[in-house]
A and B are shown apart, each in its own frame.
Chain A
Amino acid sequence: MLNFTLQRIGKAFVVIVGVIILNFLLIKLAPGDPAAILAGEAGSGDPQFVENLRRQFGLDQPVPVQLWNYLSGVLTGDLGFSYRNQVPVLDLILQRLPATLLLTGAAFVFSLATGMLFGVLAARHRGTVLDSMITTLALIFYATPLFWIALMSVLLFSINLGWLPPFDMETIGAGYTGWRRVLDIAHHLILPTVTLGLFYTAIYTRLTRASMLEVMGLDFVKTARAKGVPGQRIIRRHVLRNAVLPVFTFASMQAGQLVGGAILTETVFAWPGIGRLMFDALMQRDYPVLLGVFLITAIVVVVVNFITDLLYRVVDPRIGIS
């Protein structure tokens, strides 16, 4: 167990360093000099000023040296300074990370729960109206652009019906505290969560349904039925337990992709998370922030993968630790 953990941590470390280097070099390929752009926006074309900026951010050194400085900084927890905001990148990210984790976590749970529920329902009632309704809806949501769903649900639920707030994470200036605040945030969370999650709900529905149907055809299910095990119990204890594995595999791969989707959701709903932070940093050529967000996302993905690897052994005891 310990050996396994150490091995995984070593591998994860290599992957993360690789991701950092890849992103760093990618950003160095970008045309345009951040220092010149910053100077231009400050209203100064003075070469001396640009030179100062360049020195201040260490951009005057050769790329390998910059990379080395960045890497050794990262190892000591220093992700550099934001060109724009003049605060450490790490502070900026940590300030925004909870909002994204809340949103993606909620979307993940929402999509997994609803997707499996619909998948089980469809498989149980295969060939009925319910089944075709669920599969058709899944097919449609699988094809719908996330940002369009977001806009259309704002149109329906915020503008026309007035049920849900169209943007922000909490009511600005309301000054709620305690449970009142939690409720307020939960109220704001509904639309972003559902719109971010629906696409994955569709995927989980299809996966669960297909996987359930496959397991339902196996011999041990027939045996259980022949023994007279009640139908509900067969679905729950015999079929679902075995059908859940492919869903689980997919869910672990999806964790990182949710963060990508969060860029769109956070943009539409003005959600103060790292997806939005990344996009703004990119547009403003604030590269240390961009690199930092990528690093944090990679770490989150690696951690999630590690947890799912461990959970695999709980879900399916046949898989040994090796």
Chain B
Amino acid sequence: MQFIKRFSQNYGAVLGLIILAAIVFLAVAAPLLYPGNPWKTVGMPLLRPLQDAKFLLGTDMLGRDIAAGIAHGAKVSLLIGVVSTLVAVLIGVTIGAVAGFYGGRVDDILMRFTEFFQIIPTFAMAVVLVAIFSPNFISITLAIAVVSWPSVARLVRAEFLSLRQREFVQAAVVIGQSGPRIILTQILPNAVSPIIVTASLMVATAILTESALSFLGLGDRNMMSWGFMIGAARTMLREAWWMSFFPGFAILLAVLAINLIGEGINDVMNPHLRGRKQ
């Protein structure tokens, strides 16, 4: 209750929540609002927005409905954003927790390993991974996860390093609890709030990465996505601005909404930072 009350005092976060709810609604209702395949030609090509009341946002050069594409694309963007973040958090928490808890040699090796991933430009790495394992939902999700876990690992490691010294952890060691049990039941619950904040912001980054991948033609060919629509509209920029404008605006709204929510959660979970905002 306290959480909801504090969260709702942050107008930006509430606005983000409303936008995100609208996008989720669009994604869920897409098959009802725009039944049928979004790839199919449904009208005259290159209709301007509002030129035909049936096609609110116009049509593309093959007569596909832009609004239908955006509705169906919402599902892909949100799904990939959430799933890849979950995978990244899983990898990052595991590596960070083990490195931070056990320290010493293990920590050294794991952190060197993490550094390797940070040297390689993340987007370039994602592009290569997706291209090599042929673009589909799983490879895109995993590629985004693979390039985004290092920041989680570092964060979790830092949290674990400081929590490990605390008395309640030492008490657990003294009563003979095993390492994995201490990690999972003692330390992790205390490190969860920064992880949630980071994860919520990572969903936004993942959506941006996915859209950039499919813009380059590395999206799942069986699923309509916002980035793909912009990529396909590139050559038509002069003739049909609406083809690339609306999908891009959809990405902007989705990412903005998630960032606002993430900041809202951050404000609630780290109350000591709140003074800065005023």
Listed in ascending order, the chain A residues whose CB lies under 8 Å from chain B are: 15, 18-19, 22-23, 26-27, 29-31, 127, 139-140, 142-148, 151-152, 154-155, 159, 210, 213-214, 253, 256-261, 263-264, 267-268, 275, 278-279, 282-283, 290, 294, 297-298, 301-302
Contacts and interface: CB of A to CB of B under 8 A. Distances in A.
Contact of B124 (A213, A253, A294, A302): A294
B234 interface: yes
A11 B215 CA distance: 37
B203 to A, nearest CB: 12
Contacts of B136: none
B260 A19 contact: no
B270 to A, nearest CB: 13
Contacts of B102: none
B201 to A, nearest CB: 10
A290 B124 CA distance: 10
A148 B119 contact: no
Nearest to B276: A213
Contacts of A144: 248, 251-252, 255
Given A145-B211, A282-B131, 18 more contacts: A19-B116, A29-B133, A31-B133, A142-B259, A145-B215, A145-B255, A146-B212, A151-B234, A151-B248, A152-B244, A159-B237, A213-B276, A253-B118, A256-B119, A258-B121, A263-B123, A283-B131, A298-B120
Nearest to B256: A143
Nearest to A147: B215
A155 B115 contact: no
Contact of A259 (B118, B121, B204, B208): B121
Contacts, number: 126
B238 interface: yes
A264 B216 contact: yes
Nearest to A28: B132
B259 A15 contact: no
Contacts of B276: 210, 213-214
A108 to B, nearest CB: 14
Contacts of B248: 144-145, 148, 151-152
A151 B127 contact: no
Shortest 6 CB-CB contacts between residues of A and residues of B:
A260-B123, A148-B248, A260-B121, A143-B255, A143-B256, A30-B132
B123 A19 contact: no
Contacts of A264: 123, 212, 215-216
Interface in B88-140: 112, 115-116, 118-125, 127-129, 131-134
Contact of B120 (A139, A210, A256): A256
Nearest to A257: B121
B245 to A, nearest CB: 7
Contacts of B168: none
B204 to A, nearest CB: 7
A155 B260 contact: no
A290 B248 CA distance: 29
B272 to A, nearest CB: 12
B260 A139 contact: yes
A294 B120 contact: yes
